[in-house]
Amino acid sequence: MNATPTAVVLIDLQEGFFEFPDLADHRELMIREANWLAGVARAGGHPVLVVNTMHQRDRSTWTLKMLEDGQGFNFEGSSQAAPLTGLDLRPTAVLTKTRDSAFFGTGLADRLRAHGLRRLILAGVTAESCVSATGRDAFAHDFEVVYARLAIASSDADRGWRDLENLGADFRQPILNRPDLERLLAGK
């Protein structure tokens, strides 16, 4: 399992998501843990990919829920769409998505396969939405998934962690803490 080529995927660590009160309290922890995870990955020669949500003001990229509510979010070029201040994102590939899954319309699966990557360590927000949707789609694309426990936040902790625990049980996608992630990225 440890020899599997691995990438770290950071999902939606953008200013706009942390405007919500239920995520604002997790901001500093998310920055610290994402930077730690990315640093360990880079030290082990593993790529770090950033996947951000970005929408157009003309509604062309809005989800059904956004259209029903008449309210867009994370518009291209806005401060909401910017990465969290304090994230160390060098060097990383940045992909843009308009839906929950990091695989939807981003070319992520092709990019991973082109580099021989088979396992993803997922981190970011939110557990119950974009992180879990990416985990489900990763399984459908035949990638192994590991969730970085401290580098994932949720706007509804009970629901979010229950979703990830269910994915762990259904798809053999473990939720790991720092020591296990460090061993995995070090190839031990």
Q: Is residue 32 part of a domain?
A: yes
Q: Which residue has 């426990």 as its token pair? A: 149
Residue 153 dihedral angles phi and psi, to the nearest 5° = -120, 165
Query: Distance from first CA to last CA of the chain, Å, rounded?
Result: 10
Q: Is residue 1 part of a domain?
A: no
Q: Domain containing 123: what range?
A: 6-186
Q: Which residue has 């706009």 as its token pair? A: 16
Q: Is residue 117 part of a domain?
A: yes
Q: What is the pLDDT along the chain (188 residues), one digit of tens a residue?
A: 446 899 999 999 999 999 989 999 999 999 999 999 999 999 999 999 999 999 999 999 999 999 999 999 999 999 999 999 999 988 789 999 999 999 999 999 999 999 999 999 999 999 999 999 999 999 999 999 999 999 999 999 899 999 999 999 999 999 999 999 999 998 76
Q: Is residue 166 part of a domain?
A: yes
> How many domains does the structure of the chain reveal?
1
Q: What is the CATH number of the domain that holds 87?
A: 3.40.50.850
CA distances from 153 to 48, 52, 148 (A): 19, 15, 10
Which pTM does this prediction carry?
0.95
For residue 186, what are the contacts with CB-CB under 8 A and spacing of at least 6? Answer: 40, 44
Residue 5 dihedral angles phi and psi, to the nearest 5° = -60, 130
Q: What is the DSSP letter of 154?
A: -
